[in-house]
Amino acid sequence: MKSLMTGIAAAAILAVSAMSAQATTTFNLGGSFPGGFSLDYSEGGIGLNVTGGTFSSSTPGSETVSGGAFVNRGSDGIGVSSGLIENPEVDGDHSNDVAIFSFDQAVKLVSVTFSHYDDETQSTDFFTCLFTGVCYVPAPDDEFSFLADTDNNGSLNLITTNSDGNPYVFSPSPIGDLFGIGAWDNNDDFRIASIEVSAVPLPAALPLYGAGLAVMGFAGWRKRRKAAAAA
């Protein structure tokens, strides 16, 4: 019995270790199809649905997230258009766009990679351009907003509006099945090229843990039974 319990415990540990070490899954979001209101992807046994929307506030806890925006897709990734005059990027001009990522299982969000990120310029003032010849300078850095279903109720909650980095590596990695990448400020605009996730390992190992607990319970019952018989 002791060897059986040890074997099951070892199997559970090995299962968790193997799943923890598994490679991440990258969803390359670009493609030749021009887009739509709902885009589906599948990689590494994980399903992903992408829709577009807007969010209304830069203050976490007071935001309203609405859907129904068009998701543009090209070879450089995806963007969101929430109106007729909107550009095909995720941007904070006119309305605050958000790309909504809905996975068919819980995942650990590892990183996101952008295109057209920090590639803008802005004009200098008249005298600077006239006397120095410098008429354009880099625009302020792009930043992105991050949203997640923190309440596990199927609705997005705003986490931050000023995350920055390309690629951006999440640390710690949030876990869930619903996330949003958006833009708040007028000068924030970009496209999302890819998103990297890994499957959450623990639930798959639960049957092994359950089997181990069952054996431990059975062993305890046998021990108590023997003690009662000897009394």
- pLDDT of 221 above 80: no
Per-residue model confidence (pLDDT) at position 162: 86
> What radius of gyration, in Å, describes the C-alpha atoms of the chain?
25
CA 84, chain centre distance (Å): 28
**Token duo for residue 201:** 């390992």
Do residues 53 and 70 touch, judged by C-beta distance below 8 A?
A: no
Per-residue model confidence (pLDDT) at position 124: 66
Question: What's this model's pTM, rounded to 2 decimal places?
Answer: 0.72
Domain definitions of the chain by residue range: 1-22+202-231, 24-200
Q: What is the pLDDT of residues 82-105, one digit of tens each?
A: 877 677 889 887 789 999 999 999
Do residues 89 and 171 touch, judged by C-beta distance below 8 A?
A: no
